[in-house]
Amino acid sequence: MSAEEPLFRVVRGVPTAEELAALVGAIVVRSRPAAAPEPATASAWARSGRPAGPRGWRAAGLPR
C-alpha cells in the first residue's frame, strides 16, 4: 500500500465530517488490543479465613 492510497473509501453517499470522525473513531477503537483485566485480589476478610504457614489447612484442624 502506498502512502497516497486511502485506508478506506466511501462507496455510496456523502458523509459529513462528524460521520467520518465517528467511523474513524470506531475503527481506531476496534484495532486496539483489548487490555487484560487486572487479577482480582482477595479482600482482607477472605484472607483472614485462610490458614497460613508451612502446613496450611492441616495445621488449622490441630489444637493450638
Cβ-count burial 25-56 (b if 16+ within 10 Å, e if not): eeeeeeeeeeeeeeeeeeeeeeeeeeeeeeee
pLDDT, mean of each 10-residue run, the chain (64 residues): 73 91 88 80 78 69 66
Give the pLDDT of residue 47. 75
pLDDT at 18: 94
Other C-beta atoms closer than 10 Å to the C-beta of 20 total 12
7 CB neighbour count, 10 Å cutoff: 7
pLDDT of residue 2: 64
pTM of the predicted structure, to 2 decimals: 0.41
The vertex-51 CA angle with 47 and 57, nearest 5°, equals 135
pLDDT of residue 19: 92
